[in-house]
Structure 1
């Protein structure tokens, strides 16, 4: 089945590359992936190696981004931290996407009591700020990177479910859904074959925009000591350990902060570009 608005990947990429903002976002994401894949070769030092004779060294030839309070190379820790960031994004997206899509499509398709129960549960999650709710889950599960990923995933699916439900309420009244039902197709088949593909473009856009929030939430948990634990080179945790020395050693928090800012901005820009690329009106103009 051909999904209206879901163009081939090549056409979408060409559209994104023609837009300066989305092209910038793709470039930053490409650098993030490149850094994660080739971290052992890009890092100039062991990210965990301590050099107590060279602590809080400013950026220079030996250490491009300086060293931290234990003499560890900031550049190398930033590069290795890309793997942690990508791991968080990938795992949260893999969990959140299917759960939100399933809850939203089932609630929108069946309506009635099913819709009421599912959406009230969704509203309970939405009534709390995502970071506050993530803090509560991590406090209950215990501080660690894996528990932080679980907590972020548990708080990120409700907006996806709301979006999928709204899309399903529109599509379930379409003629092709009625025709499939008259032909004897089961509810599960109609949802999987007719409803879910139509919801995918909007859900993909939302997931891309949601990645920036995931990064910021993970960094916030790491900053508060509830996410990745030392000595892991997670960017939020790096800012947390460096804030005590930031007055005299600005590079400890500046470079991790710039990394978080650039990656979050990149996903937002790509999400905006993807929204335009998957818009049927935009597609008809090309």
Structure 2
């Protein structure tokens, strides 16, 4: 073999690896689209993203504009979802509220995923006292209902959108940590981990380069399923007045203000409630679809 062939081999191998990852992503997406439930989840999330991005174009009214003469009007062509007690257009407020929901989902995922993954992989890899301490802390967080614990954190930090995100993040990482630890325990005795140790790789490098990638699929599935709980908790905090503060169009807060008029003006709580229901259901269905798509048995069948 010539020097030219040897120098070109890494380049060819690198080129081959990129299409394989794209093919795997395409196969997963195809699998999700073939499932009616997963396709519904993707559709709802696509609507959520579109509504958040295009809210200024899709909204028919200013979501903060008050018109007391139009208060509590039923759904019509002028106001698709009716108006609230201050005459604000509910359809436009739900559109802008999707931005708040998307902010919750994105920031909580960014915070919870790395924390849970780090705690779980470190505890599972090192074991011993480190594992005991980290898992006992995790058990303490898991012993309280997430909404109750979030209420305690928000009460300590003060009611606001940012504090609600912090509170929810502090309560949402333990299930991710438990899952990552369980996955790490199955991988840490593998031959490739032992080979990495013999080659002198540090514990941090082994965790980052070998164990974390193996835990990512399961963590991603769990994180997706947890988003439904995150949305419900955020809506619960908003309903209690501890989340996003008025006049922000947060869906839970909209239900809280509309519940006083729900007997005669059903639309004030129905449409925000349907928005919460659809998005929460979409994440559950998408999580189930991802679990099936990333299942090795399912992959072999495809």
State the TM-score bracket (shorter-chain normalisation).
Answer: over 0.9
Distance 1:119 1:89 in 2: 25
What secondary structure sits across from 2:57 in the alignment? helix
1:94-113 Cα shifts (integer Å, max 9, x gaps): 00000000000000000000
Distance 1:43 1:79 in 2: 7
Give the counterpart of 2:94 among 68, 73, 78.
78
Larger Rg: 2
The aligned residue for residue 71 of structure 2 is 55
Show the 5 A alignment for 1:226-237: 226-237=242-253
Q: Which has the higher contact order (CA 8 A, sep 6+)?
A: 1
Distance 1:62 1:22 in 2: 34
**Alignment RMSD:** 1.4
The aligned residue for residue 87 of structure 1 is 103
User: How many equivalent residue pairs?
Assistant: 284
1:131-154 Cα shifts (integer Å, max 9, x gaps): 000000000000001000000000
The aligned residue for residue 3 of structure 2 is none
The aligned residue for residue 68 of structure 1 is 84
Distance 1:57 1:18 in 2: 41
1:164 paired with 2:164, answer: no
The aligned residue for residue 24 of structure 1 is 40
The aligned residue for residue 113 of structure 1 is 129
Distance 1:242 1:135 in 2: 22
The aligned residue for residue 100 of structure 1 is 116
The aligned residue for residue 216 of structure 2 is 200
Distance 1:231 1:170 in 2: 49
The aligned residue for residue 217 of structure 1 is 233
| 1:188 Cα deviation from its structure 2 partner | 0.5
8 A contact 1:6–1:278 mirrored in 2? no
| 1:7 Cα deviation from its structure 2 partner | 7.1
Query: Under a length normalisation based on structure 2, what TM-score does the superposition of the two structures give?
Result: 0.92
| 1:184 Cα deviation from its structure 2 partner | 0.7
| 1:8 Cα deviation from its structure 2 partner | 2.4
1:151 paired with 2:176, answer: no
Query: Under a length normalisation based on structure 1, what TM-score does the superposition of the two structures give?
Result: 0.98
- Structure 2 gap ranges (5+): 1-13
Give the counterpart of 1:262 among 278, 284, 302.
278
| 1:11 Cα deviation from its structure 2 partner | 1.3
C-alpha distance 198-114 of structure 1, shift in aligned 2 (>3 A): same
- Structure 1 gap ranges (5+): none
| 1:6 Cα deviation from its structure 2 partner | 11
8 A contact 1:7–1:278 mirrored in 2? no
